[in-house]
A and B are shown apart, each in its own frame.
Chain A
Amino acid sequence: MKPLKKAMFRALRSITRPLPIILTVVLALSLIECLPLKDISQYIGSGGFVSIFLSAIIGAISAGNAMTSYILGGELVKNGLGIGVATAFIVAWVTVGIVQMPAEGTLLGKRFAIVRNAVSFVLAVTTGLIFALIFW
């Protein structure tokens, strides 16, 4: 095989090898985006550690475009949700990827995937608490 052909094959293999896991993530995402997140969030509350922690959990298990989290968080703040709660939700949404964890674990290592997502979750809660104090 010529060098270009070999390179093209290797590059294609880099895409096709994780394709089943990527498609698994896509299937899960398409179902998760059907969840009534706004209804769930109505029960979270407007502030405090528990509210921030719960919103970070919802953000962590949610997935999809960050724009969705900005719009959802912004709309909820308009309806009385605390800024710290919205921040923890947005930061967890964009930094924690529970749905993507199987793909992350398969390609970068299980331990790394678990530790990275756990640390990201703690940082999301911390950011929520700090922003609740700053923007109160």
Chain B
Amino acid sequence: MAFVKALRSLFLGEEEDYRPITIFAITFIAYLVIILIFPSIQSKAMANLWKILYNLIPAFVLVYILMLLIDLFVEPKSLAAKFKAMRGWKLWLFSVIAGIISTGPIYMWYPLLARLKKEAELNYGYIATFLYARAVKIPLLPFLIAYFGWNYAIAITITIIILSLIEGVIIDMLMEGKNDSSNSV
């Protein structure tokens, strides 16, 4: 009984929200129907699925470790205090650097960002800057240079960094009233 309760808590949460599981079930059925109707994409779709899932495992492990470390060592109140204490350009810079060095698929970071948003009262602008700065892929620069040359690679990298800050400011303005934070510039 305790096991079932723990499972329900893990997948449905305290509010017992069935919507995500329903969306997944519908998508899964649609997926099966599509690969049955179009047998030509069957093997490719299945290969893609396994490839993505295989690549997700390290990201899952990394995010789990980060979540655990945050839970163990970071007191939500002190984290909130740190983010609140970090103001202006330092927090924008922190959001850009964190975005650039973050790894794994973008959607793996949503739970962590949602948690930071809630516990550290982080403004939407900083989250947007973080998500945009993730477009800078340092390990993939050789590909950009090989295809487009050094000038283009440097120009696009600098442009994305600047745009990440512009996007953050725009989002902060457009989400005004939706932010509960006091650490905006």
Interface residue? A82 (CB, 8 A):
no
How far does the Cβ of A124 sit from chain B's closest Cβ, in whole Å? 9
**Could you mark each residue 27-49 of chain A with 1 if its beta carbon is under 8 Å from any beta carbon of chain B, else 0?**
11111011000000000000000
Q: How far is it, in angstroms, between the C-alpha of A91 and the C-alpha of B135 when the chains are bound? A: 8
**Could you mark each residue 75-101 of chain A with 1 if its beta carbon is under 8 Å from any beta carbon of chain B, else 0?**
101100001001100110011010010
Q: How far is it, in angstroms, between the C-alpha of A77 and the C-alpha of B149 when the chains are bound? A: 12
Q: How far is it, in angstroms, between the C-alpha of A112 and the C-alpha of B167 when the chains are bound? A: 12
**Could you mark each residue 40-56 of chain B with 1 if its beta carbon is under 8 Å from any beta carbon of chain A, else 0?**
01001110110011001
How far does the Cβ of A112 sit from chain B's closest Cβ, in whole Å? 5
Q: How far is it, in angstroms, between the C-alpha of A67 and the C-alpha of B171 when the chains are bound? A: 27
- Given A26-B53, A70-B144, A106-B20, A11 and B67 contact (CB-CB distance below 8 Å): yes
B: contact size bracket: 35 or more
Interface residue ranges of B50-64 to A (CB < 8 Å): 52-53, 56, 60, 63-64
Q: A25-B107, A31-B45 are in contact. List 4 more A-B contacts (CB 8 A).
A: A24-B28, A27-B31, A74-B146, A120-B167
- Chain A interface residues toward B at CB < 8 A: 3-4, 7-31, 33-34, 66-67, 70-71, 73-75, 77-78, 83, 86-87, 90-91, 94-95, 97, 100, 102-104, 106-109, 111-112, 115-116, 119-120, 123, 127, 130-131, 134-135
